[in-house]
Structure 1
Amino acid sequence: MKFSANLGFLWNDRPLPAAIRAAKAAGFDAVECHWPYDVPPSETRAALEETGLPMLGLNTITGGPGAFGLSALPDRVTDARDAIRQAVDYAVDIGAQSVHVMAGTAEGASARQTFLDNLRFARSICPETITLLIEPLNPHDAPGYFLRTTDQAAGVIAELGLPGIKLMFDCYHVGRTEGDLVTRLRNLMPILGHIQFASVPDRGTPDHGEIDYRCVFSEIASLGWSRPLGAEYRPAGDTDASLDWMKTLSP
């Protein structure tokens, strides 16, 4: 089993290039991040080249404090498309494999149409080598977020019918909202672009909580998934001291 360090949570007490180097030293196979835009892409790219780690993905900006994105907001289309351009440009500059298009806090038919239109725009400007990801977020952490369930996200992907738009399946968010992870992973595997994990309900290391990740990881491997899984959990303290699960849970 391969793992990717989500540097939005892991080693987030240091600059992104240093966090990339720390992930390499800890034995991760890849990295991913949230919002790298304060760091010049040349510095991020240099750290990736030095370590040989691929950058699996990054997010579009949230749109402000307490916000969760812009792409489903009917009154923020210009801002949403600027954010998409920013994310795609940065991803191209550093060789990132995907961009997570964050929908934002919205609901209703107008929000859905806006999200579809902005995803079509994103696909039109994004190189084929970069996957666009959409991700349901749970209502405890992101109340009012437009994408709330995997079924809703799958419906958006089906309606778009465009190549290179995939579902980011975060076991933590799905575990808090829907449950039945193994069945959902089996059913949704054809449209998955990335898988992330953390304990439920506290979003800590995956070696405790309601989800048996030894079972989940084994099932993911049996389904033929060979790409790194994203460790997007909040360490209780020092990140390096939180990594025992890498040895104990890997099938």
Structure 2
Amino acid sequence: MLLFSANLGFLFTDLSLPEAVGAAARAGFDAVELHWPHVGPAAIPADELKSAAAEAGLPILALNTARGDAAAGDFGLSALAGREREARAAIDAALAYASACGAGAVHLMAGKAEGPEAHAAFLANLRHALASARPQGLRILLEPINTFDVPGYFVSTVDRALALIEETGGEAELLLDCYHVARMGGDPATVLAEAFPKIGHIQIAGVPDRGEPDQGALAYPPLLDGLQRLGYAGHIGAEYRPRLSGAGGTEAGLTWLAAFRRGRGAG
């Protein structure tokens, strides 16, 4: 049986974060993952989130490093040459919060950049993240993000992410979002099979509108069957935008969850 995680950056957003954790448990999810619970006016203390997760009986899988100045268009800092001090502070803050709330991993957000200086900055910041995460028992994830949603994002392809992982000793892991792979023209099933040894987490959403995963052009049941054959034992993150907003919007679109958990063959 497959395990599914609710990404609370997109799901149950009409609730406070502790309430959303409980709602995810009641809906049948096996874990939660987060965007930026430690950043901005909506930030909550790590111990409060940890308590909510413990009460719900759900592990916290991962959270992101800060975007930076979102109003100015920042979408991560680690590849931005000249902003290394800010990037390191964001890494350290995310790791400290992850450790305090009991999360297992941090996604290192690269930001919008290109060229040799961006490459050097990202490698240096990735090495810093790995060295800081290691003694805390935390994992570092790299996610390729498509350039339709985030034009100019430094880590936009699986090949680039894998090359960066290799350049820094192979310790970081791939966060593979099937939605982003498909939007960049790739075949998620093929990529999952080829990159499987480096995958630390998987996410899903409908293509191309990033709605519920049982809608759109990408058929997930055969892909999930393939994951089972590969022996994938991790969680699959539901990181999509519910078509219905407001109270009850997430729950109304969750008919996919039970069917996806069983896999295609269960009917």
Question: Letter of the aligned partner of 1:45 in structure 2?
Answer: K
Distance 2:82 2:57 in 1: 41
Match of 1:53 among 52, 58, 64: 58
Question: Letter of the aligned partner of 1:53 in structure 2?
Answer: L
SS in structure 2 opposite 1:69? Answer: coil
Corresponding position of 1:234? 241
| 1:63-212 correspondence runs (5 A) | 63-65=68-70, 66-126=73-133, 127=135, 129-163=137-171, 165-212=172-219
Distance 2:33 2:211 in 1: 17
CA deviation digits over 1:167-198, x for unaligned, max 9?
10000000100321111111100111100000
CA deviation digits over 1:21-70, x for unaligned, max 9?
00001110000000001111111011011111100000001001232100
**Aligned CA-pair RMSD:** 0.9
SS in structure 1 opposite 2:126? Answer: helix
Question: Letter of the aligned partner of 1:78 in structure 2?
Answer: R
Does the aligned pair in 2 maintain the 1:70–1:103 contact within 8 Å?
A: yes
> Which segments of structure 1 move beyond 6 Å, counting only runs of 4 or more?
none
- Runs of at least 5 residues in structure 1 that lack an aligned partner in the other structure: none
Does the aligned pair in 1 maintain the 2:144–2:180 contact within 8 Å?
A: yes
Distance 1:138 1:166 in 2: 18
SS in structure 1 opposite 2:90? Answer: helix
CA deviation digits over 1:70-89, x for unaligned, max 9?
00001110000000010000
C-alpha displacement of 1:249:
2.7
Fraction of identical pairs, as percent: 49
Does the aligned pair in 2 maintain the 1:42–1:93 contact within 8 Å?
A: yes
Corresponding position of 1:30? 31
Distance 1:85 1:247 in 2: 38
Does the aligned pair in 2 maintain the 1:204–1:235 contact within 8 Å?
A: yes
| Between 241-250 and 199-208, the greater mean CA deviation after superposition | 241-250
Distance 2:126 2:260 in 1: 36
Question: Letter of the aligned partner of 1:10 in structure 2?
Answer: L
Question: Letter of the aligned partner of 2:57 in structure 1?
Answer: G
CA deviation digits over 1:203-228, x for unaligned, max 9?
00011111110111111111100111
Distance 2:106 2:23 in 1: 23
CA deviation digits over 1:73-118, x for unaligned, max 9?
0111000000001000000001101000000000001101110000
Q: TM-score, normalised by structure 1?
A: 0.97
SS in structure 2 opposite 1:229? Answer: strand
C-alpha displacement of 1:128:
5.2
Distance 2:170 2:239 in 1: 28
C-alpha displacement of 1:162:
4.5
Does the aligned pair in 2 maintain the 1:149–1:178 contact within 8 Å?
A: no
C-alpha displacement of 1:129:
2.0
Question: Letter of the aligned partner of 2:174 in structure 1?
Answer: L
Corresponding position of 1:249? 260
